[in-house]
Amino acid sequence: MAQRETLGVGILGAGFIGHFHVDSFTGVRDADVVAVCSLTKESAQSLADKAEATGVGNQVAAYDDIAQLVRDPRVDAIWVLTPNFTRIEVVRAITDEVTSGRAELKAIAIEKPLGRTIAEAREVLELVQGAGLLHGYLENQVYSPGLVRSRDIVWARGAAASGTPYLARAAEEHSGPHNTWFWNGATEGGGVLNDMMCHSVEAGRFLLSPPGTRHSEWLTPVAVTATIASLKWGRAKHAKELQDTYPGVVDYTKTPSEDYAHAVFEFVNGDGEPVIVEATTSWSYVGAGLRLSFELLGPEYSMESDTLSTESRLFMSRNLEQSEGEDMIEKQNAEEGLMPLLSDESMSYGYTGENSYLATAFLKGEQPLEGLEAGLEVVEFLMAAYQSAEEGRRVTWPLDLEDFVPAVAKGEWNPRA
Ligand SMILES: NC(=O)c1ccc[n+]([C@@H]2O[C@H](COP(=O)([O-])OP(=O)(O)OC[C@H]3O[C@@H](n4cnc5c(N)ncnc54)[C@H](O)[C@@H]3O)[C@@H](O)[C@H]2O)c1
């Protein structure tokens, strides 16, 4: 029997999202995980073991050196899953290996956000283009089956008959991230606006754009009006809780990162009509767990989606003694009472669809629709939103924010002063 060709994937970064990606590869036919590289050999080995155990890889190599990962002849493409502050350093290490001829690669996929500033994101894009690689921007939400299916139907039935959609609402909320570097503005690049509005603005653009179209070809940005706030974690009690949980976190009573952000992005669509993405994100939502919610409104139709409205729910009585976990839902906050259960989070959040689509495109030598240019555009939206929130005004396009660094990232934002 002829051997099926698959894409050899090298995973760079074996943390929280590395585990999600490896889980998702159980639903990807055109790729095998062949290597994992991380800061320590131990963490790389542990994710490599998981890849072996779940059958998404075979003889998965573990490295703590990026050059070794790129030079591994089984690695065709690298998924960059390291923290935001490492983007330039790791992408340069990868592309240097390729441009110098020491290694060959087909493609690279990079997690959100593409950079902490527009300048960083642009540098990442240019490094990848300079190395001649196919590229994918890892924005999982635009591959989530709930959004993809409803957008297909809304556009085929509603938009075709009554006109294009005009308002997309996208919200992502949870009780706060899982590692110190997210909480510090300098290493993360800001707070929840940077961390999660990157998803919401892109999901909003996705819903408002016809299937098969590049968002930037359909939607011309006009303006953004945004607000950021420190609602929970800047309170003295919670700032202390943060420092006790994550040693090394800055003092949130003085220079917090925003734990709430809201933005209204105005566009003109391909029909010349005004349309809006309304995005809300927070690290101050204490509910059952992570909540992603979406709405799309058009002339004679609407859609809605909420990841906490799950098809299965569990009830756990108060008499059960249980340990804490995230086995029912990401960022789970309770183990008692009526709890939502997502049966396949990698699938629901879009990682499986994302990795299937990218693996197939890379294997065929085709450039994916959601490439790194989309990642750069998203960073531009986020920086404009920060500027709007800082200056309390509506920011209009064209932008001049190449070197803009949010006050939160500079440690200069103190809303309680
Ligand atoms: N798409 C999503 O919904 C989503 C969710 C979470 C995180 N992310 C993104 O994924 C990235 C990683 O986040 P995370 O939550 O996994 O972080 P994490 O802190 O849990 O893990 C980061 C991993 O990268 C490794 N690492 C750090 N510096 C490295 C370097 N220079 N070389 C090699 N490995 C290095 C660490 O050892 C660790 O294994 C971030 O950019 C984040 O924004 C995306």
Nearest CA to 296 out of 379, 173, 211 is that of: 211
Q: Which of 12, 39, 63 to mutate to test the pocket of ligand 1 (most atoms within 8 A of CB)?
A: 39
Q: How far is the CA of 10 from the centre of ligand 1 (A)?
A: 14
- Please give the CATH topology (third level) of the domain spanning 7-141+358-370: Rossmann fold (3.40.50)
Contact 12, 80 (CB under 8 A): yes
84 close to 116: Cβ distance less than 8 angstroms:
yes
Domain extents in the chain: 7-141+358-370, 142-345+377-396
Instruction: Write down the H helix ranges in 55-117.
Output: 66-71, 87-99
Domains 7-141+358-370 and 142-345+377-396 share a fold: no
Residue 1: its pLDDT value, please? 65
Does the beta carbon of 12 sit less than 6 angstroms from any atom of ligand 1? yes
CA 409/CA 395 separation, integer angstroms: 19
Instruction: Tell me the C-alpha distance between 405 and 407, whole Å.
Output: 6
The answer to whether the CB of 14 is under 6 A from ligand 1 is yes
What class has domain 142-345+377-396?
Answer: alpha beta
**How many C-beta atoms surround the C-beta of residue 16 within 10 A?**
14
pTM: 0.97
CA distance 151 to 353: 15
Instruction: List per-residue pLDDT tens for the chain, 417 residues long.
Output: 678 899 999 999 999 999 999 999 999 999 999 999 999 999 999 999 999 999 999 899 999 999 999 999 999 999 999 999 999 999 999 999 999 999 999 999 999 999 999 999 999 999 999 999 999 999 999 999 999 999 999 999 999 999 999 999 999 999 999 999 999 999 999 999 999 999 999 999 999 999 999 999 999 999 999 999 999 999 999 999 999 999 999 999 999 999 999 999 999 999 999 999 999 999 999 999 999 999 999 999 999 999 999 999 999 999 998 899 999 999 999 999 999 999 999 999 999 999 999 999 999 999 999 999 999 999 999 999 999 999 999 999 999 999 999 999 999 999 998
CA 205 to chain centre: 14
Probe target for ligand 1 pocket from 81, 174, 354, with the most ligand atoms within 8 Å of CB = 81
At 158 the three-state DSSP class reads helix
pLDDT score at 133:
98
Q: By the 8 A CB rule, do 106 and 133 touch?
A: yes
Gap from CA of 122 to ligand 1 centroid (Å): 20
Question: In angstroms, what is the span from residue 38 Cα to ligand 1's centroid?
Answer: 9
Count other C-beta atoms under 10 Å from residue 271's C-beta: 11
Residues 6+ apart with CB under 8 A from 147: 141, 203, 206, 207, 294, 305, 350
Query: Best mutation site among 111, 139, 246, 351 for ligand 1, i.e. most ligand atoms within 8 A of its Cβ?
Result: 111
Q: Two tokens at 394?
A: 């509506």
Give the ranges where 184-338 is alpha helix by DSSP (H): 185-188, 192-208, 215-218, 236-245
CB atoms within 10 A of CB 300: 10
Torsion of CA 228, 233, 237, 239, to 10 degrees: -110
